[in-house]
Amino acid sequence: MTKTLFDHYAAPRDGYAGTLVGRAWIPGEHGGPTIVLVRDDGVYDISRHVATTSALFDLDEPAGFLGALPRTERLGSPDDLLRNSDQAARDPAAPWLLAPVDFQAIKAAGVTFASSLLERVVEEQAKGDPAAAAQVRAALVEQIGVDLSKVKPGSAEAERLRQALTERRLWSQYLEVGLGPDAEVFTKTQPLSAVGFGADVGIHPKSTWNNPEPEIVVVVSSAGGIVGATLGNDVNLRDFEGRSALLLSKAKDNNGSTALGPFVRVFDGTFSLDDVRRAEVTLRVEGTDGFALDGVSSMRRISRDPEDLVRQTIGGTHQYPDGFVLFLGTMFAPTKERAGGGGGFTHKVGDVVAIGSELLGTLANRVRHSDAIEPWTMGIRALIANLARRGLIDAATSPRAP
């Protein structure tokens, strides 16, 4: 029997005891994107009280606000919405999940784990050629000669390593952001363009070397406070970025190249930033060709603390009035051979990617080419028009207490 994306889903370890919020598409003439509260006994439409997650996460106590809301407009069970979110088997007359954020900027931190740092240098020196990767990787490990995971970014030891590698002409722009004082933080994609659980994720049709990047994504208010977290897939084109760092936007921002979800778990008594710091992020890739790949990324091994990454994103030099989400990076850079010839791993159309973490659940999507998946049409103007037609404009900017 063919597995559905729901077959890859595992709920948070404690079920839905935490404060989980998301967005769902409500079909019908008066439907559209809706903010939902997720509980063990159901998924509830709360859009009459708050119609954007941007406004919700700017509240002083979003968990307290959500906990006080009446649960009257039930859309179904969590499993109902998760099952119907599978794009390949969706009932368009029933609700399904969207990415759980809306107006927030979507940012990403790169090269925050030593293992992925090495792979970025491999991409650069291989000039985007996957066949050259294995030889470059072996040479770099021998030449660098130190365990990069033990070097603290911005430290005196990192500066000494920089000087030594520069003298040997081995210093790299990736080593600069991986070991230097300044983190790499870039715009991953546009507000509202991320896809949610069950949707197709996209790879550029011209890419021959690409991979998923399973990450924890923190949700940040306009004041710079971290209010919760979700899971993300920062779909990456290794060949494009390897050819030139100036192709980063082309490597990162394509139709369906960002997946978030299934829900945001808001910080409360059951979940905190320390849980993010301790988290393990798992990855499972299953291909229609029988190929399977498993990986794990431990947040304990991140080189920069999440609070430091957020401070380097927002402050006196850069504001986000609608808030933002920030991919924290991954230690996962797959090298398992798939097609032969030394190219290592790359996606094939039809791959299923499942990303999980014990307190956040599972984000599952299928891979297709970016020009073949459903185009992105619900931008800011369209969402504002939809909320206005449904009488929710006030709730989009000013949450209404019950």
Tell me the per-residue pLDDT of 361-392, one tens digit each, with 9 for 90 and over. Answer: 999 999 999 999 999 999 999 999 999 999 99
The larger pLDDT score, comparing residue 173 to residue 68, is at 68
> Position 175: which residue type?
L
Q: What is the pLDDT of residues 314-366, one digit of tens each?
A: 999 999 999 999 999 987 777 788 866 566 789 999 999 999 999 999 999 99
Mean pLDDT across the chain, nearest whole number?
90
pLDDT digits (tens, 9 = 90+) for 166-217: 776 766 777 777 777 888 899 999 999 999 999 999 999 999 989 999 999 9
Report the 3 state secondary structure along the chain: CCCCHHHHCCCCCCCCCCEEEEEEEECCCCCEEEEEEEECCEEEECCCCCCCHHHHCCCCCHHHHHHCCCCCCEEECHHHHHHHCCHHHCCCCCCEEECCCCCCEEEEEECCCHHHHHHHHHHHHHCCCHHHHHHHHHHHHHHHCCCHHHCCCCCHHHHHHHHHHHHCCCCCHHHHHHHCCCCEEEEEECCCCCECCCCEEEECCCCCCEECCEEEEEEECCCCCEEEEEEEEECEEHHHHHHCHHHHHHHHCCCCCEEEEEEEEECECCECHHHHHHCEEEEEEECCCCCEEEEEEEHHHCCCCHHHHHHCCCECCECCCCCEEEECCCCCCCCCCCCCCCCCCCCCCCCEEEEEECCCEEEEEEEEECCCCCCCCCCHHHHHHHHHHCCCHHHHHCCCCC
What pLDDT, on a 0 to 100 scale, did the predictor assign at position 142? Answer: 63
Using a pLDDT cut of 70, give the percent of the chain over it: 89
Asked if residue 99 lies in contact with residue 211, where contact means CB atoms within 8 angstroms, the answer is: no
> What pLDDT score does 333 carry?
72
Task: List Cβ neighbours of 111 (8 Å cut-off, separation of 6 or more).
Answer: 117, 120, 174, 177, 178, 184, 329
b (16+ CB within 10 A) / e for 17-47: ebbbbbbbbbeeeeebbbbbbbbeebbbbbb
Instruction: Dig out the tokens for 166 from the structure.
Output: 């520069």
Least confident of 132-136, 217-221, 238-242: 132-136
pLDDT > 60? residue 288: yes
What is the rounded CA–CA span in Å between residue 260 and residue 279? Answer: 17
Sequence-distant (≥ 6) Cβ neighbours of residue 398 within 8 angstroms: 55
Closest listed residue to residue 264, CA positions, set 32, 20, 80, 51:
20
Give the pLDDT mean for 263-272.
Answer: 98
Average pLDDT over residues 5-15: 97
Q: Exposure of 69 by Cβ count < 10 A (0-12 exposed, 13-18 middle, 19+ buried)? A: middle
Reply yes or no on whether the pLDDT at 42 is more than 80.
yes
**CA gap 217, 215 in Å, rounded:** 6
Largest Cα–Cα separation, the chain: 67
The pLDDT, as a whole number, for residue 353 is 97
Predicted confidence (pLDDT) at residue 260 exceeds the cutoff of 60: yes
- For 240, residues 6+ apart whose C-beta sits below 8 A from its C-beta are 128, 204, 207, 247, 250, 251
Nearest to 376 by CA among 255, 235, 261: 255
User: What's the whole-number mean pLDDT along residues 103-124?
Assistant: 78
- What is the pTM assigned to this prediction? 0.90
Interatomic CA distance for residues 216 and 309, integer angstroms: 13
CB 53 within 8 A of CB 100: yes
**So what's the pLDDT on residue 167?**
73
Identify the pLDDT of residue 173.
Answer: 75
pLDDT tens, position by position, 125-161: 776 676 676 776 676 666 665 566 677 787 888 778 7
